[in-house]
Amino acid sequence: MLSFVAQRIVKGVFVLLAIIVMNFFLIRLAPGDPAAVMAGEAGASDAQFVQQLREKFSLDKPLPEQLFIYVKGVVTLDLGFSFRQQMPVAKLIAERLPATLLLTLTAFGISLLLGITFGTLAARFAGTWADTAITVSALLFYATPIFWVALMSILLFSVYLGWLPSFGYETIGGNYTGWAHVKDVALHLVMPAMTIGLFFMATYTRMTRASMLEVKRLDFVKTARAKGLRDNIIQRRHVLRNALLPVVTLAGVHSGTLVGGAVLTETVFAWPGIGRLLYEALLQRDYNLLLGVFVVCSAMVLIFNLVTDLVYRLVDPRIEFAS
C-alpha cells in the first residue's frame, strides 16, 4: 500500500516536471519576444519590466540553462510575477484555490451521488418509462455545453424566478458571519455546482446504468439467485458493487474535465476560483499567470487521479498493491 503510494507520487512528480518543461517550450512557441510575451500584451508591459523578466529568466543565457533556471523556479513554488495583477502568481493562486476546491468537490459529490442513484434506478427498471426518462435526460445533459447551462440557469433562477444570486462567492457588502455566512455562500454555490454537476451526473448515470446491465448478466448473479437471495440484496451487494468499479475508473479519468468545467462555470458565475483566474489571465494575455494556473490545475488532476486509484485498489481485492 505504502509502496504503491510512494511509487505513484514519484510518477506524479515526474509528470509534473514534464509539464513544467513543456510550459517552458510553449512560451517560446508564442510569436515575439518571450519576455514581452510573458509580461503580457497590449501595453501591459513597460520596458523596465520586460528587462527585469529578461534578466530573471536569463533569456540571454543558453537554452538548457534557461530551462534549468525556469524549472528550479517553479519547483520552489516561484511561479513568477503577474504584472497585470501586481502580485506573485503563486499568491494569486493560493488565494483563489479554496473557492475552486469547494466548487469542484461539491459538484463531484453531487454528481456521483445522483448519477449512481439514477443509473441504478434506470438499470433496475430497464425498459420502463422511468428508464426512458432517465436515459433521455442523461443524454440531453451530456450533450449540453456547460457554459450554456450556466447561462440558462441564470436566466431561469436569477432573472425570471429571482431565487438565487447570479454571480460571486458571497453577497458583496453583506458582511455575514457564522451560519448566515455559510448560508450565503451555499446559496451562491448552488448554481455553479449544479451546472458542473449536471454534466457529470449525466456521465455517471449512463456509466452506472450500462455497467449494471453488464454485471447483471454475469454468472455470480445467477449464483446469488440460486441461493434464494432477495432481489434488492442481489442488486446492492452483487450487482451494484461490481458495477461501480468502472464508474470509479471513469471518475478518475474525468477529473481533468472537472477542472475544465470549473474554468467555464467560474467564468460565467464570476466565482473567484482559479478557473476565473485563468479566464482573467487569458483576457489580459497574462501568460505567466496562465501557465501558473495551468500547472496547478495539472497538479490537482494528478492528486485526484491518485485518490481514485487508491479507492479502486481498496474496493477491488483482485488488484494487489505494488503490482
Partner 1 sequence: MKKFWKAMLRNPGGLIGLVIIFIAIFIALFGQMIFPNSPWRMVQRPFLPPFTNPMVTLGTDALGRDVFAGLIYGARVSLLVGLVSTTVALTIGVPVGAIAGYFGGKVDDALMRFTEFFQTIPSFPLAIVLVAILQPSIYSIVGSIAIVSWPPVARLVRGEVLSLRTREYVQAAIVTGQSNTWIISREILPNALSPVIVLASLMVANAILLESSLSFLGLGDPNLMSWGYMVGAGRTVIRQAWWITVFPGIAILISVLGMNLIGEGLNDALNPRLAKDSR
Partner 2 sequence: MTVAPAVSIKNLKIALPKSAERPYAVDGVSIDLIPGEIVCVVGESGSGKSMCAHALMGLLPDTVTTETGEVLFEGRNLLKLDESGWREVRGRGIAMVFQEPMTALNPLMRIGEQMMEMFEAHNLLTPKERRAKALSLAKEVGLPDPERIIRAYPHQLSGGQRQRAMIAMALALEPSVLVADEPTTALDVTTQAQILKLIRNLQRSRNMAVMFITHDFGVVADIADRVVVLRHGKIVEEGSIDAVFKNPQHDYTKALLAAVPSMHPPVRAPLDENARAVEVIGLDKTYVTSGGWFKPDRRVQAANEVTFSIMQGETVGLVGESGSGKSSVARLVMRLIEADRGTVRIGDVDLTALEGKALRAQRHRIQMIFQDPFASLNPRRRVGQIITDGPIARGTDPKVAMQRARDLLGMVGLDAGSLDRYPHEFSGGQRQRLGIARALAMDPEIIVADEAVSALDVSVQAQVLKLLEDLKARLGLSMLFITHDLRVAAQICDRIAVMQRGVIVELKPTAQLFASPEHPYTRELLGAVPGQSSPSQAA
Estimate to the nearest angstrom the gap between the alpha carbon of 55 and the chain centroid.
35
| Residue keyed to cell 471518475 | 251
Estimate to the nearest angstrom the gap between the alpha carbon of 177 and the chain centroid.
29
> CA 171, CA 185: separation in Å to the nearest integer?
8
4 touching partner 1, by CB under 8 A: no
94 touching partner 1, by CB under 8 A: no
Estimate to the nearest angstrom the gap between the alpha carbon of 186 and the chain centroid.
19
Of 78, 95, 214, 309, the one binding partner 1 (CB under 8 A) is: 214
36 touching partner 1, by CB under 8 A: no
Q: Which does 237 bind (CB under 5 to 8 A by kind): partner 1, partner 2, none?
A: partner 2
227 touching partner 2, by CB under 8 A: yes
Positions of E strands within the chain = 81-82, 87-88
Q: Under 8 Å CB-to-CB from 270, ≥6 apart: which residues?
A: 167, 168, 276
> CA 259, CA 306: separation in Å to the nearest integer?
16
Which of 71, 70, 90 is CA-nearest to residue 79? 90
Residues forming a β-bridge with 81: 88
Judged by CB under 8 A, the number of residues near partner 2 is 28
Angle at 321 between CA 316 and CA 323, to 5 degrees: 110
Q: Would you give the binding string for partner 2 spanning residues 189-218, x where CB under 8 A is met? A: -----------------------------x
CB nearer to partner 2: give 8 or 54: 8
305 touching partner 1, by CB under 8 A: yes
Q: Which residues bind partner 2 (CB under 8 A)?
A: 3-4, 6-7, 218-220, 222-231, 233, 237-238, 241-242, 315-318, 322-323
Q: Which residues bind partner 1 (CB under 8 A)?
A: 15, 18-19, 26-27, 29-31, 37, 126-127, 139-140, 142-148, 151-152, 154-155, 159, 209-210, 213-214, 216-217, 253, 255-257, 259-261, 263-264, 267-268, 278-279, 282-283, 285, 287, 290-291, 293-294, 297-298, 300-302, 305
